[in-house]
């Protein structure tokens, strides 16, 4: 069953796709009117439908009433299924671009085969859109501007993964304390560890859903209860984060958790595999396709008697002939094929594999804790080693160290080492200068244990110039860790423009590693580039980029980002014991 908001959303989707097909405007508008009518209902949709009274609502005629009843009962309806089968999933996204409109969207789909927003943006940037009849350079610019505005608007509603997960974990603890909770888990993109999250999805198994829903509403940080239904409660936290809690009987828990974890693309592919094996896979679980005309029509909720009992997600994948796919990999990026062929990595890096904390700042540059405080905090965490990598001399804004201060820091490192167990390594986070050089002469670099090489200045350089700058730096003979490689700040600053694969080629041809930066605003390299690095046999360092003792906990986010990029334990340099790590990263 879906609620009013879901029904309204589905009706609008039908309207938008019909408009794209050139359907007559009155018919299109009827869906918008119907959506509004449903949203404004004071009574329960199900009760109205059951009583055959939906048509009494202004704006809802016979045909619409039937579709609303279908949607309420099954989550979909015939016309929606037909439209979804016909149009790629990215179509709705295209229709939301300001100033594009359904006619232009259809024309671009037809002429250039554009399937989604990313495709549209790429086509505009490549100048292909202006070549389509009826489009010019100005329209192309307008579309790009519209995409930018749309992204900015949507960015407003997203939060960092760390914010969402920390709130989610507090909620889990609160809900699990209730006797009504058999199980509660985080689902959605937060479970997949996506870098930013729109809203938080929780799934619970309970025989007493009303008690559990009440428990959620009583969470101290809940600002407002937005909706409370039999199986779904939505609240908004004081931080603005929206939380959906879905509650099902224990026997439906595993499949709903899987369904709500996504991603959509992963699920689309799994549904195809299920069909080939004689099943249907949906939010209601896995069902055997029975004989008879209703089978496979998809419009009705599957027959409960045909349900395959699955106790866990592992069982679900097994039923489909697949190895279990960890949530972080469920992006339709080759994981399903690998799960079928038995080539899914089984040794993805885990938090407990990491032995050393890399990339730490202290009060010598822009850190907020002294070297000794950082060292003691690392000791308390049981780290084997800690690399002290304060900023280099050109980073004046961050209190970068000139050669003289750098040498004095080495004296302090030696003094602090006497007092702590964690092994301290002498390093730098060296600026990559405008011409691609590092910030200290070779004789200084050679005296260090670790060099992180990061771009901090002139970030708006053009792509050619930036690529040259990085290629030159990464080709230098010293071993360097490419620090926060593309310099993005999530929800704040775009990545620098550069041809990443060229830079990775340079790094692969020289000596160095790429960083997975665990600062929750950074979380890069992103997955596709980590896999490109792995393909080139470039090792990886999971870093904390800590500016305070509490930031040492960023390691968790670095591990998550690395797992999304299929990083295996054997690729990670700071999973090595101290002496081997030191030998692996020695600059000269």
| Least Å from the CB of residue 510 to Zn ion | 21
C-alpha to C-alpha distance for 518 and 547, rounded to whole angstroms: 12
| Least Å from the CB of residue 455 to Zn ion | 8
Q: In Å, how far from its chain's centre is CA 214? A: 30
> Tokens 């998809």 map to which residue?
298
| Between 487 and 527, CB nearer to Zn ion | 487
**Which residues of the shown chain bind Zn ion in the complex (CB under 5 A)?**
429, 454, 545
| Between 13 and 545, CB nearer to Zn ion | 545
Burial 54-67 (b: 16+ CB within 10 A, else e): beebeebeeebbeb
| Between 77 and 549, CB nearer to Zn ion | 549
| Least Å from the CB of residue 193 to Zn ion | 22
| Between 215 and 456, CB nearer to Zn ion | 456
Closest CA to 242 of 261, 225, 218, 219: 225
| Least Å from the CB of residue 395 to Zn ion | 8
C-alpha distances (whole Å) from 45 to each of 33, 80, 201 are 16, 19, 24
| Between 94 and 496, CB nearer to Zn ion | 496
Contact call for residues 147 and 120 (beta carbons, < 8 A): yes
β-pairing verdict for 423-431 and 450-454 = parallel
| Between 196 and 454, CB nearer to Zn ion | 454
| Between 258 and 547, CB nearer to Zn ion | 547
| Least Å from the CB of residue 454 to Zn ion | 4
| Least Å from the CB of residue 424 to Zn ion | 17
Outline where DSSP puts E strands in 104-259.
Answer: 159-160, 183-186, 196-197, 200-205, 222-228, 232-237, 242-248
| Between 280 and 362, CB nearer to Zn ion | 362
C-alpha to C-alpha distance for 32 and 47, rounded to whole angstroms: 22
Contact call for residues 413 and 372 (beta carbons, < 8 A): no
| Least Å from the CB of residue 476 to Zn ion | 18
| Least Å from the CB of residue 487 to Zn ion | 8
Q: Identify the bridge partners of residue 572 per DSSP, sorted by sequence position.
A: 540
C-alpha to C-alpha distance for 562 and 550, rounded to whole angstroms: 21
């Amino acid at each position: 069953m879906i609620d009013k908001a879901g029904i309204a959303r589905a009706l609008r989707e039908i309207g938008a796709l019909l408009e794209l097909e050139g359907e007559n405007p009155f018919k299109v508008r009827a869906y918008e009117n119907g959506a509004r009518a449903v949203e404004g209902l004071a009574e329960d949709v199900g009760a109205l439908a059951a009583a055959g009274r939906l048509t009494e609502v202004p704006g809802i005629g016979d045909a619409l009433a039937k579709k609303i009843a279908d949607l309420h009962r099954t989550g979909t309806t015939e016309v929606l299924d037909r439209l979804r089968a016909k149009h790629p999933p990215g179509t709705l996204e295209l229709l939301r671009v300001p100033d594009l409109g359904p006619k232009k969207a259809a024309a671009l789909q037809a002429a250039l085969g554009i399937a989604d927003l990313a495709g549209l943006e790429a086509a505009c940037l490549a100048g292909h859109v202006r070549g389509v009849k009826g489009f010019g350079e100005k329209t192309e610019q307008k579309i790009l501007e519209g995409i930018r505005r749309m992204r900015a608007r949507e960015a407003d509603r997203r939060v960092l993964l760390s914010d969402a997960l920390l709130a989610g974990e507090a909620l889990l603890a609160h809900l699990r304390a209730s006797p009504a909770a058999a199980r509660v888990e985080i689902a959605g993109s937060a479970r997949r560890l996506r870098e930013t999250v729109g809203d938080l999805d929780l799934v619970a198994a309970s025989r007493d859903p009303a008690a559990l829903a009440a428990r959620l509403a009583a969470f101290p940080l809940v600002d407002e209860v937005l909706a409370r239904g039999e199986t779904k409660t939505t609240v908004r936290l004081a931080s603005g984060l929206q939380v959906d809690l879905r509650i099902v009987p224990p026997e439906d828990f595993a499949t709903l958790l899987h369904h709500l974890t996504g991603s959509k693309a992963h699920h689309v592919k799994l549904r195809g595999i299920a069909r080939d094996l004689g099943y249907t896979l949906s939010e209601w679980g896995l069902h055997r396709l029975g004989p008879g005309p209703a089978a496979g029509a998809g419009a009705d909720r599957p027959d409960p008697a045909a349900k395959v009992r699955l106790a866990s997600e592992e069982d679900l994948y097994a039923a489909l002939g697949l190895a279990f796919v960890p949530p972080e990999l469920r992006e339709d990026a080759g994981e399903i094929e690998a799960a079928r062929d038995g080539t899914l990595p089984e040794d993805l890096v885990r938090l407990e594999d990491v032995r050393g904390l890399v990339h730490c700042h202290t009060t010598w540059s822009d850190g907020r804790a002294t070297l000794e405080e950082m060292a003691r905090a690392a000791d308390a965490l049981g780290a084997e080693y800690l690399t002290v990598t304060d900023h280099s001399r050109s980073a004046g804004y961050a209190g970068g160290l000139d050669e003289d201060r750098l040498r004095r820091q080495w004296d302090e490192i030696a003094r602090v080492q006497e007092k702590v167990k964690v092994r301290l390594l002498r390093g730098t986070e060296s600026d990559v200068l405008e011409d691609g050089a590092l910030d200290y002469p070779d004789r200084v670099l050679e005296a260090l244990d670790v060099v992180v090489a990061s771009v901090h200045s002139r970030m708006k350089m053009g792509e050619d110039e930036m690529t040259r700058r990085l290629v030159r730096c990464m080709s230098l003979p010293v071993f360097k860790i490419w620090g926060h490689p593309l310099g993005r700040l999530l929800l704040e600053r775009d990545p620098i423009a550069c041809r990443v694969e060229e830079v990775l080629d340079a790094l692969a041809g020289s000596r160095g590693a790429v960083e997975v930066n665990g600062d929750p605003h950074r979380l890069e390299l992103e997955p596709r580039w980590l896999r490109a690095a792995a393909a080139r046999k470039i090792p990886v360092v999971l870093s904390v980029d800590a500016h305070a003792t509490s930031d040492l906990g960023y390691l968790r986010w670095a591990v998550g980002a690395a797992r999304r990029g299929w990083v295996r334990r054997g690729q990670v340099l700071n999973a090595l014991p101290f002496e081997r790590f030191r030998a692996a990263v020695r600059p000269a």
